[in-house]
């Protein structure tokens, strides 16, 4: 694999979710088992309406500090962050757009 190339995923964004109740908060609202996310495993998941209609799909990865990184289409990022903040209620979790920390620049 000596011909590795960089792919700039400019159409993707990243939301960081941190805090002591991050996983329990997400476990109740997404379609995959958040507890299976660890430093070696990212998971694909979705957020549905209470009636089961599709809203967003994304990948979740461990951030190495007890929180999660959510990789989502950039054009849907603000809407997903707003929806997560709506569902958060009193959960001890912070939701932050960190896309600028995960951008690639040409070599």
pLDDT digits (tens, 9 = 90+) for 53-84: 999 999 999 999 999 999 999 999 999 999 99
pLDDT digits (tens, 9 = 90+) for 3-27: 666 667 788 999 999 999 999 999 9
Mean per-residue pLDDT of the chain? 90
DSSP label at 18? E
**Where are the domains positioned within the chain?**
20-100
pLDDT digits (tens, 9 = 90+) for 37-54: 999 999 999 999 989 999
- For 57, other C-beta atoms within 10 Å of its C-beta total 16
Instruction: Please identify, in words, the CATH class of the domain defined by 20-100.
Output: alpha beta
CA pair distance 67, 14, nearest whole angstrom: 13
Nearest Cα to 71, choosing from 63, 81, 82, 60? 60
């Amino acid at each position: 694999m000596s011909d590795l190339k960089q792919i700039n995923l400019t159409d993707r964004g990243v939301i960081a979710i941190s805090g002591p109740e991050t996983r329990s908060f997400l476990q109740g609202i997404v379609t995959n088992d958040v507890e299976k996310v660890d430093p070696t495993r990212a998971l694909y998941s979705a957020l549905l309406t209470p009636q089961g209609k599709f809203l967003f799909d994304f990948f979740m990865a461990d951030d190495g500090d007890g929180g999660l990184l959510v990789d989502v289409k950039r054009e849907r990022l603000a809407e997903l962050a707003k929806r997560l903040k709506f569902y958060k209620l009193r959960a001890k979790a912070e939701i932050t757009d960190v896309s600028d920390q995960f951008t690639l620049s040409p070599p």
